Structure 1
Amino acid sequence: MSEYSQMLHKILRSTWNNLNISEQWMKADVYIPKEQYSTEIDQFRPISLLNLEGKIIFFVMESCLTKCLIENGYVNVSVQRGVLQVPLGYPEEAKMIWMLPAGPC
């Protein structure tokens, strides 16, 4: 495992064990100017950017919540597909998730 992977694993494990999510991981709005000299808010367009660590931990939390909702009959999967998991885009992310300790889900 690379040095980056080890550091990422340590951060995610600590977050999971302490149930303490960084406030920075929850902020995503960035405003991009539409014109060169934008000064008014309507001259900007918002985009959402989240860091990798936040994406991984929120994916794990979403997976646990989805599993709980489906197993307890709160979601009818024959008509509701919006809560079903989408595979991760990067193998490194999936590897980090499987290395986290087992949680309540």
Structure 2
Amino acid sequence: MKALTVFGVMLACVSVSATASEFDFKWNDKNDMRGAYTMCATTGFTQGDCPKVYQKCWQPPMIYRKKHKVKTYCVDAPNFTSNEDDKNRALDEGSKRAKEMYGE
């Protein structure tokens, strides 16, 4: 019974990671958090997961103390690198999601 439970948990983890897109948000990636914070700032943290992004950016490990003030690393510029293949994958993913959203 114990082995069956462990197998079920492993199977659930594999199925989740197999369906995850490279464009899904990574809560524990500092650079991803910085990028999400930058994008969410344009909407005033009101759309989608932006309220959660704002809260996460003001929790460890994204906060630090400087001159007796609490600050967040989220305001630092994200460091993304990309090439032509990355651009094409992003465009394909955006097109696929738009079709799913608007039913084409």
TM-score of the aligned structures, taking structure 2 as reference length? 0.28
Q: Structure 1 or 2: larger helix share?
A: 2
Structure of higher RCO (CA pairs closer than 8 Å, 6+ residues apart): 1
